[in-house]
Amino acid sequence: MKAKKICIVGASGKLGQYMIEHALAAGYQVSTVCREQSLPKIARFVGRIEMHAAPTDDADTIRQASQGCQAVLTVLVPWGMQRYASGTAQAVLNEAPEDARLIFSCGWHISLDGQDRYDWKLKAIVAVAGRIARWLRVVDIDDQVRATQQIFNSDRRWTVVRGSDLEEGDSEGLPVWSKHVGDPILASNRTRRTDFALFMVHAINDATLIQQAPAICSSKSESALRYSPQH
């Protein structure tokens, strides 16, 4: 039987590389999109994945790379002042195959329904870091907000996965998730980056996540262990 195919957009970053590893391990054929200058970062996968070198907001490339894919997994990053995140989201929404699952990554600061409860620390980080980054013209956090608004307004089969603070290290298993930041199960605010990627790949076949914005946290974190229903 022919392996099912998925596309990873923004594949050369840390999250993207973990997603490639999990997708290959799960038996998917993998097509990737990343900037040309970043190809060396995924050189170790040559011969095992399809590579498309272009900016991730290039609509033609997204159409070609995602052809025949059952899912498109996209890393949304607020880099630069050229509307890169919203351009990338729009290209994927417009060009991915009609029935494809569309899974996007972002952070806890994004809110689907305004019901998230943020502590002062996260609010301060987003406000201060956002202002400094905009002043330096390297990051435009508002554009990630714009990107996710486009996704939330779409009637496609999307999921926006909201990552907590990330750390490197071995997998601790599939993260737990909740609809709202501020829920006790998420209080530890930590996830291994490899497990963020694992959740992105898992979401492809989890229909309960369609048109949801799960906020995730490590299943081995103190808050998850304390508040998970099975404990």
- Match 């689907």 to its residue by tokens: 112
Judge whether 94 and 57 are in contact, CB under 8 Å. Answer: no
Residue closer to ligand NAP by CB (options 12, 86) is 12
Cα–Cα distances (Å) from 147 to 89, 102, 120, 192, in that order, read: 6, 13, 24, 24
* Smallest separation, CB 47 to ligand NAP (Å): 20
Closest residue to ligand NAP: CB criterion: 13
* Smallest separation, CB 75 to ligand NAP (Å): 5
* Smallest separation, CB 121 to ligand NAP (Å): 13
For residues 163 and 218, give the distance between their C-alpha atoms in angstroms, rounded to a whole number: 10
* Smallest separation, CB 71 to ligand NAP (Å): 16
Residue closer to ligand NAP by CB (options 4, 41) is 41
Residue closer to ligand NAP by CB (options 71, 76) is 76
Residue closer to ligand NAP by CB (options 61, 105) is 105
Residue ranges binding ligand NAP (CB under 6 A): 10, 12-16, 34-35, 38, 41, 75-77, 79-80, 84, 105-107, 163, 165-166, 193
Residue closer to ligand NAP by CB (options 166, 187) is 166
Which residue, among 1, 2, 28, has the nearest Cα to 197 in the 3D structure? 28
* Smallest separation, CB 3 to ligand NAP (Å): 25
